[in-house]
Amino acid sequence: MVKTELTGLVSPDTPPNVQVIRHAQVCKKLQVSSAKLFDMIARSQFPKPFRLIPGGRAVGWLEQDVDRWIIDRKQSLVGEGA
């Protein structure tokens, strides 16, 4: 559930169970190495993470964005005949 003090900051179409996942979790979910994930990001083959705290070093992805990328990737492979 979204806390009331955040209500103005969250879009109405944002699901209430938004999860941020970190680099290691993304690697595990995609079953790729850390180096491969960095390479995919550098080649614009995977979305860039966002900073969790302005000016900080910690970054992450919304889990729903990673899941959407996986589904889109699967659909593009089906279209290629894979």
Regions in the chain scoring below 50 on pLDDT = 1-8
pTM for the structure as a whole: 0.75
If DSSP codes are grouped into helix, strand and coil, which group holds residue 67? helix
| Domains annotated on the chain, with CATH | 18-79 (1.10.1660)
**DSSP letter, residue 32:** -
CB count in 10 Å sphere of residue 4: 7
Q: What is the pLDDT of residues 55-64, one digit of tens each?
A: 999 999 999 9
What six digits make up the tokens of 40?
Answer: 């995919």
Handedness of CA 27, 29, 32, 38 (dihedral sign): negative
pLDDT score, position 17: 86
* Residue 67 to residue 9: CA distance in whole angstroms: 23
